[in-house]
Amino acid sequence: MHRKLFFLIPLFSLVLQTACQKTMSEEQIRARAMIIHEAALIVDTHCDTPTRLLRGNYDLGQRHEPGAPGSGQIDFPRMKEGGLDAEFFAAFLSQRALTPDGYENAWSRCNQIIDSMEVTCQRYSHLAEIATTPQDAVRLEKEGKRAAFLGIENGYPLAEDISRVKHFADRGVRYITLCHTRNNQICDSSTDDAPMHDGLSDFGREVVKEMNRFGIMVDVSHISDKSFYDVLEITNAPVLASHSSVRAISDSPRNLDDDMLRALKANGGVIQICVLDSYIKSDPERRAVIDTATDSLRTERGSWSDQKTEAEQKIYREAYYGIRERFPSTAGVKDIADHIDYVVNLIGIEYVGVGTDFDGGGGIPGFNDVTDFPNLTVELFLRNYSEQDIKKIWGGNVMRVLQTVIDSAE
Ligand SMILES: [Zn+2]
Q: Give the start-to-end residue ranges of the domains of the chain.
A: 26-282+330-407, 284-328
Q: Is the pLDDT assigned to residue 150 strictly greater than 90? A: yes
Report how far apart, in Å, the C-alpha atoms of 293 and of each of 119, 307, 311, 319 are. 39, 18, 21, 10
Cα(369) to ligand 1 centroid in Å equals 17
pLDDT at 377 over 70: yes
Residue 82 CA, ligand 1 centroid: distance in Å: 22
For residue 13, how far is its CA from the centre of ligand 1 (angstroms)? 39
- What is the arithmetic mean of pLDDT over 308-315? 89
Looking at residue 283, its pLDDT comes to 85
Q: What is the mean pLDDT of residues 228-232?
A: 98
Better-predicted residue by pLDDT, 55 or 366: 366
pLDDT above 90 as % of the chain: 84
Give the distance (Å) from ligand 1 centre to CA of residue 360.
7
Mean pLDDT of all residues in 187-196: 97
- Mean per-residue pLDDT, 195-211: 98
From the CA of 24, how far away is ligand 1's center (Å)? 39
Whole-number Å distance, alpha carbon 22 to ligand 1 midpoint, is 39
Residue-level pLDDT at 407: 98
In which band, very low, low, confident or very high, does the pLDDT at 284 lie, cut at 50, 70 and 90? Answer: confident
* In the predicted structure, residue 331 carries a pLDDT above the cut 70: yes
Average pLDDT over residues 296-314: 89
- Indicate the average pLDDT of the chain: 94
Please give the distance, rounded to the nearest whole angstrom, from the Cα atom of residue 90 to the centre of ligand 1. Answer: 9
User: What is the Å distance from ligand 1's center to 21 Cα?
Assistant: 37
**CA 74–ligand 1 middle distance (angstroms):** 16
Q: How far is the CA of 28 from the centre of ligand 1 (A)?
A: 37
Q: How far is the CA of 23 from the centre of ligand 1 (A)?
A: 41
- Domain at 26-282+330-407: CATH architecture: Alpha-Beta Barrel (3.20)
Nearest CA to 231 out of 195, 201, 196, 276 is that of 201
Taking the centre of ligand 1 as the mean of its atom positions, its distance from the CA of residue 54, in whole angstroms, is: 18
State residue 17's pLDDT score.
Answer: 61
Lowest average pLDDT, out of 124-138, 146-160, 271-285, goes to 271-285
What's the 230 CA to ligand 1 centre distance in angstroms? 20
Cα of 341 to ligand 1 centre, how many Å? 23
pLDDT band at residue 20 under the 50/70/90 scheme = low
pLDDT confidence band for 57 (50 / 70 / 90): confident
Residue 155's pLDDT is 98
CA distances from 249 to 198, 222, 282, 284 (A): 26, 18, 8, 13
Query: Mean of the pLDDT values across residues 252-272?
Result: 98
Contact 174, 217 (CB under 8 A): yes
Tens of pLDDT, residues 343-363: 999 999 999 999 999 999 999
pLDDT at 1: 41
53 C-alpha to center of ligand 1: Å? 18
Spacing, Cα 249 to ligand 1 middle (Å) = 19
pLDDT above 70 coverage of the chain, percent:
95
